[in-house]
Amino acid sequence: MTSDKKMRRQYSAAQKARVLAERGGLIALPLPAPTVPGVTAADVRVELRRAPVSITGTWPVSAAAELAAL
């Protein structure tokens, strides 16, 4: 029975060092910030449920630290 599993190539440490030296390092590319049309900062919404009772509270994102302190 033969295996369909592919074998990984093995490279020597010298080969890896040579390839890395040829690459010369990282090239940083300037990318624009992603934009999503029509999206504004949403409120933080918390919904608590216990049996048949449900309570929903909303907070502005700017007050998220105060909400986390509760």
CA 35 to chain centre: 16
Q: Is the pLDDT of residue 2 over 70?
A: no
* pLDDT for the residue 49: 92
* pLDDT for the residue 53: 92
CA distances from 52 to 36, 46, 48 (A): 38, 17, 11
For residue range 11-70, what is the model confidence (pLDDT) as tens digits?
899 988 888 888 777 777 898 887 777 666 678 888 999 989 999 988 888 888 888 887
**In the chain, what are the domain boundaries?**
41-70
* pLDDT for the residue 44: 86
